[in-house]
Structure 1
Amino acid sequence: MQLRSLLLGAALTALASPALAHFGMVIPSTPVVEDKNQATVDLQISFSHPMEMVGMTMAKPKAVRVIAGGKAEDLTTQLTPTTVMDKEAWKVSYAVKKPGVYQFVLEPTPYFEPAEDSYIVHYTKTYVSAFGEEEGWDEPAGLKTEIVPLTRPFGNYAGNVFQGQVLADGKPVPGATVEIEHYNQDKAYEAPNELMVTQVVKADKNGVFTYAVPFPGWWGFAALTTAKEKIAHDGKPKPVEQGAVLWAEFVAPQKR
């Protein structure tokens, strides 16, 4: 009887503890380059639970690229190890040489999550505007799945409404589920309850979602779908959660 009670208590505890949302993360040192002193952009690349500031070990990414002016440059060989949230992560620096909108794109090595009995692959991107240029921020990067911003993904105030369109294989994903979290770098915010850690919205029939950002900082938007292909694990095919992740910074206005 005592053993049964202990097992029941453990099961109830597990049910009462929701899994934290995973987020691929690509965070630049600045989303807006205004002068030559800022022209080297440092990128922090990790796999984490950003609101709770719980890091996860990240294998070396399959690919990291920068896309500007319709051309892509591979940065994968320039990656070096670092630590984010006390876990293995990656970093790379990129020297911006001319005006433009730069999309930094991550394709990770698939991660197997035992708790979900599936693989996770988060195609993640962020944007940097350089020297006053803002043309091309609404152009797809051509990823297997991605969020194409309908709101300019830089130069936004906290409180602004952000919209994006979820694509998979280049087509809109009707009714896609989008998870949203704040990168709580300084642990300045505490969620009132567990349900407030990850915000959730649904895209409409055209794959378009809307979210009003409540306070300043970096915010991640992750649209989750299931890939058509499976990946073998211990000889058995496992489903793949593919995430289209976009990071954007929202700032508070400065007083004179």
Structure 2
Amino acid sequence: MIDALKYLTLAMAIALPFSAQAHKAWLLPSETVLSGEDPWITVDAAVSNDIFYFNHVPLRLNGLTITGPDGNSVQMENNASGKLRNTFDVHLAEPGTYRIAVVNAGLFASWDVDGKPKRWRGSLENFASEVPKDAKDLKVTQSAGRIETFVTAGRPNETALKSTGNGLEMLPVTHPNDLFAGETATFKLLLDGKPAPDLSIEIVPDGIRYRDKQNELSATSDKDGLFTVTWPDAGRYWLETQVEDDKTSVSQATQRRVSYVATLEVLPQ
């Protein structure tokens, strides 16, 4: 039952616009810029009511990918699952920038059974065997979500930041571990590897639990997918955007919902 609840929460987080729901998913590294010998970080993963506070359920790590500075995969270590969060360590054995992401894809289906609605959520692989081929009034929505953060040990590089060409991604023009209070950063949104124009981006600073307002920043991507952010203060920020279209890869699906979330750390001058 608990596993089912976790899956449902993440599925909803991927499928729905974040502005329409209370729960927000995120990855939070203990540090984003490190130096010295043999660096490690710990990452918290959760879905919560308040950004960066553990008060709902853990974020499932089934779709976790860690890309190292050389472009190769890195394994998480010391994974632990608790009631409110998952945690894991990453050994930054090579100098450079690491991309840590939870990438998920799924389907949501509804149909009619003797006048009563039937609903199903699951993976692309299970759709054919678990949803009747002759389902009446079948409606299928495809979803894809990326939740990520970036960490650099020593000198930053950009190998891990390359686009995969799948779903919504943020291609840093300004390096994501080179952000400073009072400065303006530029990023580029891509959808399936191509510029994503006219997307609304919400950016919320840490500490929401202790203030009356979100103090969110907003931006909109231009025709080339570019947007800028001027950071008012140092701290950690939660960035989110999403889009709906009909570019599905499953013939039965008529709609696709794609979301993107990033955790960024802005350093003091």
Match in the other structure for 2:62: 62
Cα shift at 1:238: 8.5
Find out whether 1:91 has 2:87 as its counterpart.
Answer: yes
Find out whether 1:205 has 2:223 as its counterpart.
Answer: yes
Distance 1:175 1:163 in 2: 15
Q: Give 1:1-256 correspondences, 5 Å limit.
A: 19-20=20-21, 23-36=24-37, 39-51=39-51, 55-58=55-58, 60-73=60-73, 75=75, 79-82=79-82, 87=84, 89-108=85-104, 121-131=144-154, 133-136=155-158, 139-142=161-164, 143-184=166-207, 187-191=209-213, 196-226=214-244, 228-229=247-248, 239-253=255-269
Q: Could you list the runs of 5+ residues in structure 1 that have no partner in the other structure?
A: 1-17
- The one-letter code sitting in structure 1 at the alignment partner of 2:65 is R
Match in the other structure for 2:9: none
Cα shift at 1:22: 5.1
Is the alpha carbon distance of 1:76 and 1:95 closer, same or farther for their aligned partners in structure 2, counting shifts above 3 Å? closer
CA deviation map 1:141-187 (0-9, x unaligned): 414221111112114222221221111111111111111112327x4
Distance 1:240 1:102 in 2: 29
Q: Could you list the runs of 5+ residues in structure 2 that have no partner in the other structure?
A: 1-18, 109-118, 120-140
Share of identical aligned residues, percent? 18
SS of residue matched to 1:71: coil
CA RMSD of aligned residues (A): 3.5
- Provide the TM-score with structure 1 as the length reference: 0.70
Aligned length: 219
Distance 2:192 2:21 in 1: 27
Is the alpha carbon distance of 1:239 and 1:61 closer, same or farther for their aligned partners in structure 2, counting shifts above 3 Å? farther
Distance 2:103 2:223 in 1: 27
Distance 1:111 1:158 in 2: 40
SS of residue matched to 1:26: strand
Is the alpha carbon distance of 1:127 and 1:237 closer, same or farther for their aligned partners in structure 2, counting shifts above 3 Å? same
Distance 1:75 1:238 in 2: 36
Match in the other structure for 1:15: none
- Provide the TM-score with structure 2 as the length reference: 0.67
